[in-house]
């Protein structure tokens, strides 16, 4: 299959990403999507960006569930088309991973019982 044929038969990743992400946004028109194919058209990088910081929470969802579901859907469609796809999300905050690692909290101190205080000498 030649490169032009691969492009013609390839899914429209930009429209797919818009379709999956716009319901999470307060202002759907603020969503910007860019799909970039590799030279051999076997890999596609999909970059999405939106303006509102509050939308970031809705797009990612609790524990990254929403963005993981969107990413898995896009990866599945790419696999059926004989391609591989990766989703990157950009927003108002510095670049974060789309795999949910941005949501990790600092670890808690160990829950071992407190050490007894020494008795004062009399």
Q: What is the pLDDT of residue 73?
A: 95
Digit-by-digit pLDDT tens for the chain (122 residues) are 454 454 457 899 999 999 999 999 998 888 999 999 988 888 999 999 988 777 888 889 899 999 999 999 999 999 999 999 999 988 654 444 444 444 444 455 556 667 777 787 77
Q: What is the pLDDT of residue 110?
A: 55
Alpha-carbon distance of 63 to 106, in angstroms, equals 15
Helix (H) or strand (E) holding 8: helix 3-9
Beta strands in 1-122 (DSSP E): 32-37, 43-49, 84-90
Structure tokens at 79: 């696999």
Q: What is the pLDDT of residue 94?
A: 40
Phi (first) and psi of residue 45, to 5 degrees:
-110, 120
Q: Mind listing the domains of the chain with CATH numbers?
A: 3-93 (3.30.300.20)
């Amino acid at each position: 299959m030649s490169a032009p044929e691969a492009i013609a038969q390839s899914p429209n990743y930009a429209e797919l990403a818009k379709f999956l992400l716009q319901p999470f946004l307060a202002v759907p028109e603020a969503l910007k999507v860019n799909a970039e194919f590799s030279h051999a058209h076997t890999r596609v990088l999909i970059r999405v960006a939106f303006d509102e910081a509050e939308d970031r929470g809705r797009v990612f969802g609790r524990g990254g569930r929403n963005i993981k579901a969107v990413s898995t859907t896009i990866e599945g469609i790419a696999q059926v088309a004989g391609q591989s796809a990766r989703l990157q999300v950009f927003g108002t905050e510095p670049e974060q991973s789309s795999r949910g690692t941005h949501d990790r909290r600092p670890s808690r101190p160990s829950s071992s019982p407190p050490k007894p205080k020494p008795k004062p000498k009399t």
